[in-house]
Structure 1
Amino acid sequence: MKALQGVEGHVEWLEETSPTCDVGQVRIRVAAAGLNRADLLQRAGLYPPPPGASHVLGLECAGVISEVGPGSSWHIGDRVCALLAGGGMAEEVVVDARHVLPVPEGLSLSEAAALPEVYSTAWLNLFQLAGLKPGEKVLLHAGASGVGSAAIQLCKAFGSPCWVSVGSPERLAYCQALGAQGGVVRTDGIEGLRDFGPFDVILDPVGGNYAALDLKLLALDGRWVLIGLMGGRDAQLDLAQVLGKRIQLLGSTLRSRSDQFKAHLFSDLSQHVWPLFAEGRLSPQLAKTFPIKDAEAAFAELASNQISGKLVVVIDESLV
């Protein structure tokens, strides 16, 4: 098979050994794969896959099951999307059958490829880890990102008002159209978020230069979930605020979690989140698709930080 690999800071569509399909696994003929910031980091040599995971790029995909290993309830021909530790940007991928969900009714395979990583991340961090409850106020940094787009919709669906920080007025309007109450454009200064706080939960992929303000913005018993370091790894914090407000700082990653952890997460998504797509309360925010031959252009567009929603790379046009 062919697969997309990071080679010295760029990507190449290369021949790769096809994986075997074992007990409890399924093989998916990949139609499309979602593009995430982790892929940018891996291409640059800064985010190697976990031990045992494929070195092929791609943390999520959608396609059609072409082989079913013993012990799986899936069937050949099922249209599915999957969460991966790597390997999604390839002609086929083998994955734990528990990390697979059906394509929601009415969605294309390109749209479905934009779902697993961002909805898993948003659900895990807001609802499972932070324990978000209806009525609690949420701040989402990078609100127009793929994760931010999913998180806004989940907050609206489950009754928690949210605000965002974003990079432009257009992206703020995009977030408000999805359901955000309001927010700030970071070039105008994120101190303006004080007007909307305090917040019960902050979902933060920035860290670094946002950290000190996050502490000030959190309410009593607030939860600060750190999922990225786009603003750097170093921060100076007033620990008296952590004590005085009883703040919980939660560091969270998903890619390196165990298969069992991800299976539990996907079971939760199947029960609480996936039905909302059929009801029209959630939707994939697919900004743009690229054919696999233009993968380098897709990576450049994501790196530009001008995208609202998700980018997807199409592997097999005959399926999408």
Structure 2
Amino acid sequence: MKALQGVEGELEWTQRDAPQCAPGQVRIRVAAAGLNRADLLQRAGYYPPPSGVTDILGLECAGVISEVGAGSQWQVGDRVCALLAGGGMAEEVVVDGRHVLPVPEGLSLHEAAVIPEVYATAWLNLYRLGALQPSEKVLLHAGASGVGSAAIQLCKAFDNPCWVSVGSAERLAYCESLGAQGGVLRGETLESLRDFAPFDLILDPVGAKYAALNLQLLGTDARWVMIGLMGGRKGELDFGALLAKRVNLIGSTLRSRDADDKAELMAELKEKVWPLLASGQLSPRLERIFPIGDVEAAFETLASNTVSGKVALVIDPDLQ
């Protein structure tokens, strides 16, 4: 099979051995794969896959099941999307059948390809780890990103007013169209976020750059969920304020979680989120589609921080 790998910063669509399909697994003929910031980091050598995971890029995909391992409930021909630790940007991928969900009714395979990673990330960190309750207030940094787009929609669906920080007025308008109450631009001071504080939860992919302000913006017994380090990994923090407010600081990654944990998470998504995608209350927010032959342009587009929502790579144009 052909697959996409990042070697010393370069992308190569090259021949690789197809993986074996073990009991409990399924083989998917990939129609499209979602492109995420983690793929940019892995390509650059900053985010290697967990031990034992393929170095083929791609943390989510959609397609048609072509082989079913013993013990799986799936059938050949099922249209599905999958959460992956790697390997989605390939003609075929093999994955634990418990990490696979049906394509929500009404969505194409291209749209389904950009759902699993961001909705799993948003649900995990807002509602499982963050334990959000109705009416609690949320601040989402990088609100127009793929994860941010999913998080805004989930907050609206589950009665959690949310605010965002974004990079432009256009992206702020985009976030407000999805349901955000408002927000601020990164080019301006973020101090105006104080007007909306205190927040019960901050979903933070930035890290050190916003750390001191985040702590000031959080209320008592609030949750601060760290999911990235785009703004650096080292900074100063007033731990006295952290203690006084009883803030729960949570570090979270999805990719390295074990198979059983991911299976439970996907089961929650099927129950809580998938019906809302099928009804149209939630949207994949697929903004740009690139053929695999234009993979460099796709990576450059995501890296430019000008896309609101998601980018997909089409692997097999015959599958829609």
TM-score category (smaller protein): over 0.9
Alpha-carbon distance in 1 for matches of 2:192, 2:317: 45
Quote the residue 2:310 is aligned against.
310
Tell me the CA shift for residue 96 of structure 1: 0.1
Give the alignment of 1:164-313 within 5 angstroms: 164-313=164-313
- Please name the residue that 1:112 is paired with: 112
| Contact 1:212–1:236 (CA under 8 A) maintained in structure 2 | yes
Render the CA deviation track for 1:252-284: whole Å, top value 9, x for unaligned: 001010000100000110111111112221011
Provide the rounded CA distance (Å) in 1 between the counterparts of 2:111 and 2:189: 34
Residue 39 of structure 2 corresponds to residue 34 of structure 1:
no
Offset from partner CA, 1:5-42 (integer Å, 9 cap, x none): 00121211000000010100000000000000110011
Q: Does 1:147 align with 2:147?
A: yes
How do residues 88-99 of structure 1 correspond to structure 2 at under 5 angstroms? 88-99=88-99
1:84 matches 2:93: no
For residues 105-141 of structure 1, the C-alpha deviation after alignment (integer angstroms, 9 at most, x for no partner) is 0100000001000000000000000100100000000
| Identical aligned residues as a percent | 71
Which amino acid in 2 is paired with 1:146? G
Paired with 2:143 and 2:99, the residues of 1 have a C-alpha distance of: 26
Q: For the Cα contact (< 8 Å) 1:10–1:296, is it kept in 2?
A: no
Aligned partners of 1:154 and 1:33: how far apart in 2? 22
CA distance in 1, matches of 2:278, 2:65: 21
- Confirm or deny: 8 A CA contact 1:286 1:309 kept in the other structure: yes
| Structure 1 letter corresponding to 2:59 | L
Amino acid at match of 2:157: A
1:187 partner SS: coil
Give the C-alpha shift of residue 212 in structure 1.
0.3
* Residues 24, 96 of structure 1: 8 Å contact kept: yes
Deviations along 1:167-205, whole A, 9 cap, x unmatched? 000000000000000000111111110011110000000
* Secondary structure of the corresponding residue to residue 30 of structure 1: strand
Query: Which whole-Å CA distance do the structure 1 matches of 2:234 and 2:275 have between them?
Result: 40
- Cα RMSD between the aligned structures? 0.5
1:89 and 1:315 in contact (8 A); partners too: yes
Which segments of structure 1 move beyond 6 Å, counting only runs of 4 or more? none
Gaps (5+ residues) in structure 1?
Answer: none
Give the C-alpha shift of residue 291 in structure 1. 0.2
Matched position secondary structure for 1:90: coil
Q: Answer yes or no: is the 8 Å Cα contact 1:139–1:162 preserved in 2.
A: yes
Distance 1:273 1:215 in 2: 30
Give the secondary-structure state (helix, strand or coil) at the position aligned to 1:140.
strand
Q: TM-score, normalised by structure 2?
A: 0.99
Q: Counterpart of 1:47?
A: 47
| CA displacement 1:190-235 (0-9 Å, x = unmatched) | 1110011110000000011100000000011010000000000011
1:15 alignment partner in structure 2: 15
Q: Which moved more, 1:141-150 or 1:2-11?
A: 2-11
User: Equivalents in 2 of 1:63, 1:183: separation in Å?
Assistant: 37
